Amino acid sequence: MNERQDIAVRDEQLNERKVQVPVVAPLVDIAENDQEILLYADMPGVDRKDISINIDNGRLSLSGLREVKPVGAVSWEEFGDIEYRRTFSVPQTIDVGAVHAELKDGVLLLHLPKSEAAKPRQIEIKTA
């Protein structure tokens, strides 16, 4: 057993320290009307530039990295560095090119507009 472990140990020392940030799923609200789907995600403390939103092959993945920069001595800490990550399935009817996002008060709001073909249409009956 011991011999085996020795073989697996690397000779070189890795100077790079891998920082493990805990990953949690942000709380979300999802609402829909005829025009679009809205997605609200709570991401307190995440900077705009640390958020990435990817839509690929019908999957929407959100990721936001928060860095809590402590000052002085820590008396207590209930929240720290964290990565908010969550993946959703996006229906085919979404116009991917028109998706836009805003960040306000630590809440990310995604607008997912429906494509023209998916919007409900009222069909008028013409008089013959």
Partner 1 sequence: MWTRMRDFDRMFQAMDVLQSRLNGLFQYYDRPRLPGAVWGLSESGPRANMYDTGDNIEIRLEVPGVKREDLSIKLQGNYLEIKGERRADTPEGYTSHRRERGESTFTRSFTLPADVDAAKVEATLRDGILTLVLSKAEPAKPKQILIS
CA proximity to 41, closest of 114, 104, 95: 104
Site residues (vs partner 1, CB under 8 A): 22, 24-33, 38, 40, 42-47, 68, 70-80, 82, 84, 103, 105-107, 109
User: At its nearest, how many Å lie between partner 1 and the CB of residue 61?
Assistant: 16
> What is the closest distance, in whole angstroms, from the C-beta atom of residue 67 to partner 1 in the complex?
11
The sign of the dihedral angle between the CA atoms of 73, 78, 79, 81 is positive
Tell me how far apart the alpha carbons of residues 66 and 83 are, in angstroms, rounded to a whole number: 6
Shortest separation between residue 107's beta carbon and partner 1, angstroms: 4
Largest alpha-carbon pair distance within the chain?
91
Nearer to partner 1, 43 or 99 (CB): 43
